[in-house]
Amino acid sequence: MIWKNTDTSYSLMGKMLHWGLAALIITQIGFGLYLENAKISIADLYLYGWHKAFGILALGLIILRVIWRLGSATPQPLGPQNAQAKIAISLHRLLYGLMLVLPLSGWIASSASGFPMSFFSWFPLPAIAPVSEPIEDVFFAIHDIAGKLLILALLLHIAGALQRHFIKGDATLRRMWF
């Protein structure tokens, strides 16, 4: 099916949201690490605007994915429901939480810094926190910690998918691919 999962496979919508968000999030992680470690000049400040705009795009897609997932059954897991399966469920929940925390913490920190935000210069985004250095510091710290946790969670997610594909030889990865 195009819009809804079945008991045995993911829909085209599920696959597009999964892989589209994967590409966007991996790009944002790379972009964020670059900005964190680069010596940015005044001429390069626009790069922060791009990172913020793509972060808001990711937030919108994540919210869409959560809404879509709540309305579409998840295919039955392959294999026994053992400790590894419970860990996978917990890891997915952590990934969803981090995918929401990262853009929201960045938006709050940016709002608290007093710098206006826009969505690709198409329209301004409202500030969702008052200008405040303590709020800015706390939420940039949350953003940084959540980013590092997301990297770890993604590596575990990828390792689990590859382990199921190459070692267990099941169809978990194949049914999420196109």
The per-residue pLDDT for range 70-94, each reduced to its tens digit, is 888 788 777 777 888 889 889 999 9
**What CA–CA distance (Å, rounded) separates 53 from 118?**
7
Phi, psi (degrees; rounded to nearest 5) at 41: -95, 170
Asked whether the beta carbons of 139 and 147 are under 8 A apart, the reply is no
Domain-embedded: residue 78: yes
Average pLDDT value for residue range 131-153:
97
> Taking 70 as the threshold, does the pLDDT of residue 34 lie above it?
yes
Domain-embedded: residue 115: yes
> Taking 90 as the threshold, does the pLDDT of residue 9 lie above it?
no
Sign of CA dihedral 64, 67, 72, 75: positive
Domain-embedded: residue 6: no
SS3 11: coil
The single residue listed with the structure tokens 């590859």 is 162
Nearest in space to 127 (alpha carbons), one of 109, 143, 152: 109
Percent of all residues in the chain with a pLDDT value above 70, rounded to a whole number: 99
CATH for 137: 1.20.950.20
**Segment holding 47, helix H or strand E:** helix 46-70
> Taking 70 as the threshold, does the pLDDT of residue 64 lie above it?
yes
**What CA–CA distance (Å, rounded) separates 135 from 143?**
12
> Taking 90 as the threshold, does the pLDDT of residue 138 lie above it?
yes
- pLDDT for 132: 96
Contacts of 157 (CB under 8 A, 6+ apart): 91, 92, 95
**Segment holding 117, helix H or strand E:** strand 117-119
Domain-embedded: residue 151: yes
Number of domains in the chain: 1
- What is the reported pTM? 0.89
Min mean pLDDT across 64-73, 89-98, 110-119, 146-155 is at 64-73
Q: Which domain holds residue 123?
A: 12-176
Residue-wise pLDDT for 146-166, tens only, equals: 999 999 999 999 999 999 889
Averaged pLDDT score across all residues of the chain? 91
**What CA–CA distance (Å, rounded) separates 55 from 58?**
5
Domain-embedded: residue 160: yes
CA atoms within 13 A on the CB side of 104: 9
Residue 1: which pLDDT band, with cuts at 50, 70 and 90? low
Asked whether the beta carbons of 59 and 21 are under 8 A apart, the reply is no
Average pLDDT value for residue range 9-21:
91
- pLDDT for 107: 96
